[in-house]
């Protein structure tokens, strides 16, 4: 990773911990191991660093939405996903989703940064909502549609079923973001949630 990239990396870390306004260019430089004025050889100013982070993250989201099949893109359902869903344990799906969101380093720092900065910039809150509400519900809603079609689960209201599946995951995620020491507790609750969800919606009946 070259200096230009490392600046973004360290800046993202700092922004996610303290918020844009509370991070000084000096902090970023120090984290990178250079002096503050040297930053300006790579970026026009502090705001440009922030903007560059956003661009990288947009690009990254686009990639992962496709490859990990959990974060968005409800446009097309290829046969592979469809087939795997038939045999995939819901618990695994939920846990994977949760752990990806929780541990993927970029995702995690970016989410925290969005959480802090979203109220200052409408565009950021839109990104946040899309990433953590609309896209997951849309994508998972489609999956549950297939699962219900297959008769594996039963419901007359797929959007609500999806909300029932996803909202606890989201909620537990916000807990872990705030207090990583509760991760174990949350994972346990997550697993119980999905098992009960499964039971309630009739896979086992």
Partner DNA sequence: ATTATAAGCTAATTCGAATTAGCCGTCAAT
Partner DNA sequence: ATTGACGGCTAATTCGAATTAGCTTATAAT
Residues that bind DNA (CB under 7 A): 2-4, 23-26, 29, 34-38, 40-42, 44-47
d(CA 96, CA 143): 15
d(CA 184, CA 163): 23
Which SS3 state, helix, strand or coil, does residue 3 take?
helix
Question: Is residue 178 involved in binding a copy of itself (CB under 8 A)?
Answer: yes
Q: Are 110 and 52 in contact (CB under 8 A)?
A: no
Within 62-101, the residues that bind a copy of itself by CB under 8 A are none
Question: Is residue 18 involved in binding a copy of itself (CB under 8 A)?
Answer: yes
Q: CB neighbours (10 Å) of residue 172?
A: 21
Question: Is residue 138 involved in binding a copy of itself (CB under 8 A)?
Answer: no
Which SS3 state, helix, strand or coil, does residue 46 take?
helix
Closer residue to DNA (CB): 33 or 159: 33
Question: Is residue 180 involved in binding a copy of itself (CB under 8 A)?
Answer: no
Q: Which of 3, 5, 21, 89 binds a copy of itself (CB under 8 A)?
A: 21
Structure tokens, 172: 């537990």
d(CA 172, CA 165): 12
- The angle subtended at Cα 187 by Cα 181 and Cα 190, nearest 5°, is 135
Question: Is residue 111 involved in binding a copy of itself (CB under 8 A)?
Answer: no
Closer residue to DNA (CB): 42 or 109: 42
Instruction: Point out which residues bind a copy of itself (CB under 8 A).
Output: 16-19, 21-22, 112, 115-116, 118-120, 125-126, 128-129, 133, 155, 157, 159-161, 163-164, 166-168, 170-172, 174-175, 178-179, 189, 192-193, 196-197, 200-201
């Amino acid at each position: 990773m070259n200096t230009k990239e490392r600046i973004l990396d360290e800046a993202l870390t700092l922004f996610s911990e303290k918020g844009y306004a509370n991070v000084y260019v000096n902090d970023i430089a120090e984290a990178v191991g250079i002096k503050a004025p040297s930053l300006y050889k790579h970026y026009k100013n502090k705001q440009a660093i922030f903007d560059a982070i956003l661009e990288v993250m947009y690009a990254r989201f686009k990639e992962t939405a496709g490859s990990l099949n959990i974060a968005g893109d409800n446009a097309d359902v290829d046969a592979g996903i469809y087939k795997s869903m038939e045999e995939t344990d819901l618990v695994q799906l939920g846990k994977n989703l949760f752990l990806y969101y929780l541990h993927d380093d970029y995702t995690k720092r970016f989410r925290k940064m969005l959480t802090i900065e979203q109220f200052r910039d409408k565009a950021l809150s839109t990104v946040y909502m899309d990433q953590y509400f609309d896209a997951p519900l849309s994508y998972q809603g489609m999956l549950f549609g297939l699962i219900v079609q297959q008769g594996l689960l039963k419901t007359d209201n797929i959007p609500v079923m999806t909300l029932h599946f996803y909202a606890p995951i989201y909620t537990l995620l916000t807990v872990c973001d705030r207090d990583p020491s509760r991760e174990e507790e949350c994972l346990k609750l997550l697993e119980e949630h999905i098992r009960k969800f499964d039971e309630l919606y009739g896979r086992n009946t």
